[in-house]
Amino acid sequence: MVNVLVCVKRVPDSSGEILLTADEQSVDARHVGYTVSPHEECAVELAVQIASATDGTATVLSVGSEDAIEQLRNALAVGCSDAVLVEAETDRFGPADVAAAIADVVTARASEGTVYDLVLLGNDAADTGDFQVGVRLAYALGRPVLTGISMVEVQGDRAIARGDGPEGTEIFELPLPAVVTVMEGGVAPRYPSIPGRMKAKKAPVENKSAGPPTVGPGRVRLKLPPSQPSSVEILGEGPDAAPAVVDLLTRLGVVGR
Amino acid sequence: MIVVLVETDREGATLVSREALTFAREVADRAGAGPLHAVLVGPVADDVDAALQGHLAEQGVAALHHAVDDRLTAYAAAAAAAAVVDVVKTASPRMLVAAGTPRGNEILAHVATRLQVAMAANVVMVDSDDPLVVTRQVVGGAAQEEMRLDDPVAVLSVAGHACDPRAAEAATTPERLEFTPTLTDADLVARVVRVEAEAVDDSAALTSARVVVGAGRGAGGPDGFKELLELTDLLDGALGVSRVVTSLGWRPHHEQVGQTGSRIAPDVYIPCGISGAIQHWAGCSSAKTILAINSDPDAPMVTKAHYAVIGDLHEIVPAINEELRRRMA
């Protein structure tokens, strides 16, 4: 029986045009909506699979605004059993603060009798891209940590994990409890079913609130990268453009190397 | 002093590590931040070591700290971090830099946590030296953040292809400083126990290829890649695909280019049937020349490209292959 805690972050959907808020402290998502990163969707899927395979539990947690309940409900709808919402003013939180807030929940739950054998997070948040919350959390909890993992299974009291490394797929084995950050690519997140959505509405959600941040993000401001005006040269339409394409590739020195 | 964590491949220092060395050297030169040192963790083959020495000399590195220990043969991020922390404690650099790779970011996250300092991931430039403010990529490169680093040692990774590797004005003869790192058993718990080397060379080839042929939803299905792979072969390049393609299971994940895949910087990128969502643009915007093939003249990939051909890739790509074969014959 493995208890999994999976952490998700409510982030602006960045598939379209990006706008910034007037104070330049965050992305203005009013017109684009919110989501969680693909990595976290896979982490939720893995949490649900592990809980189901071991007759354990999958708890989903978010450190964020009260609106993050939407992302928690989505995870509940695909099979997480309960949720924790740690309310925090995330713009003022840095990665160390987020890790501390998650560690507080893990420690509090342990003292209440629930030990999370495995804590899963996304490899990096889709918005702030800090690449470090999972590692900082592991140190706060005194646990081993793996990052960039695409597949993880539990066998007895050990986790077997796989991820892409520079020389191929790397296999790790580590004792539980542990922290693992997930990269998309190993599992396909399931879609919520109608009964799943109904169940999600009734699933227990614990509301907590994080203390003030002690470190902060160090953010001066956000800005948009300099945009370049389009100066595309259309070489032609359809297959007739092939000679022009090969002329270009030859000019660029990449033909017959 | 600035210390750069160096990763190696078969050809010496990796391309992105050489970029990080150039980035760090130019910061050091401008800010008068003293000599450039490198740190290497674990064993390397003799031929790789020789090539690495050449790269470090070319980049103007004054000294190489090499962590040597039998326990570093299999990769363990915490052990690598312990070695890097040893270097930081003995050399007291102003800045610790790595390439913004999975390993670079992972090891730096451990180091920053151990030193209780901040870490800035995927930095593209240093805005000011005092106070130290850096600009880094956020939202997958769609936005940037100016971040202050106020700690005694600034820990940062350099975004892939934020700069080209350039040789220093004067080459150096790097002094080699081998050391045995302070490792605990706990540092070795999370380590690689086995590597399955399948289809690996592809992703390595993807990030260093001079030509990348891209394929998106326009490929149409798992069987829609034949002529694209043919074009890849004819140009001696690598195939890269959009997130849609890997999500649908048409191609393996390691071929993905984008925010959640590889970042490429080829001389020529030929995205075929890729609309050019920000997620994809984040991975391909460093290409020197982009030639888009797309049926939609208003697709972002087309408007952001240098050159474009409008139409169905399944008609255009075979015609290009035919023309290439004709001229190469």
Q: How confident is the model at residue B114 (pLDDT cuts 50, 70, 90)?
A: very high
As a whole number, the mean pLDDT across chain B is: 94
What pLDDT shows up at residue B140?
85
Using left for φ > 0, alpha for ψ between -120 and 50, and beta otherwise, residue A25 falls in alpha
Q: How confident is the model at residue B204 (pLDDT cuts 50, 70, 90)?
A: low
Of A38, A145, A166, the CB nearest to B9: A166
Q: Which two tokens stand for residue B204?
A: 């390595």
Q: How many CB atoms lie within 10 A of CB B75?
A: 21
Cβ-based neighbours of B7, under 8 Å, separated by 6 or more? A166, B13, B14, B16, B17, B98, B99, B101, B103, B104
pLDDT at residue B238 is higher than 90: yes
pLDDT at residue B320 is higher than 90: yes
Average pLDDT over residues B266-294: 93
What pLDDT shows up at residue B208?
84
What pLDDT shows up at residue B282?
85
At B240, the amino acid letter reads G
Task: Give per-residue pLDDT as tens, B65-98.
Answer: 999 999 999 999 999 999 999 999 999 999 999 9
Which chain A residue has its CA at the smallest distance from B201's CA? A167
What pLDDT shows up at residue A60?
98
Q: How many CB atoms lie within 10 A of CB B114?
A: 16
pLDDT at residue B201 is higher than 60: no
Least confident of A252-256, B115-119, B211-215: A252-256
Query: Can you spell out the DSSP letters for A49-101?
Result: HHHHHHT-EEEEEEEE-GGGHHHHHHHHHTT--EEEEEE--GGG--HHHHHHH
What pLDDT shows up at residue B27?
95
What pLDDT shows up at residue B318?
97
Which chain A residue has its CA at the smallest distance from B149's CA? A218
Which chain A residue has its CA at the smallest distance from B207's CA? A166
- CA atoms of B36 and B3, how far apart (whole Å): 6
**Within an 8 Å CB–CB cutoff, is residue A91 touching chain B?**
no
What pLDDT shows up at residue A151?
97
Contact B307 A233 (CB under 8 A): yes
Of B9, B150, B303, the CB nearest to A230: B303
Of A132, A240, A244, the CB nearest to B119: A132
Is B242 strand, coil or helix? coil
Q: How confident is the model at residue B198 (pLDDT cuts 50, 70, 90)?
A: low
pLDDT at residue B213 is higher than 90: yes
Q: How confident is the model at residue B202 (pLDDT cuts 50, 70, 90)?
A: low
Contact A132 B197 (CB under 8 A): no
**Within an 8 Å CB–CB cutoff, is residue A227 touching chain B?**
no
**Within an 8 Å CB–CB cutoff, is residue B244 touching chain A?**
no
Task: Give per-residue pLDDT as tens, B10-62.
Answer: 899 999 999 999 999 999 999 888 899 999 999 999 999 999 999 999 999 99
Q: Which of B125, B91, B133 is nearest to B5 (CA)?
A: B91
Contact B78 A16 (CB under 8 A): no
End-to-end CA distance of chain A: 58
B317: closest CA of chain A, how far (Å): 8
The count of residues in chain B is 329
Chain B residues in contact with A183 by the CB 8 A cut-off are 260
Of A136, A164, A217, the CB nearest to B254: A164
Say whether the ipTM exceeds 0.90: yes
What pLDDT shows up at residue A153?
97
Q: Which two tokens stand for residue B175?
A: 């002094």
What pLDDT shows up at residue B206?
87
Residue with tokens 């409900």: A73
**Within an 8 Å CB–CB cutoff, is residue A150 touching chain B?**
yes
Which segments of chain A have a pLDDT < 50? none
Chain B residues in contact with A179 by the CB 8 A cut-off are none
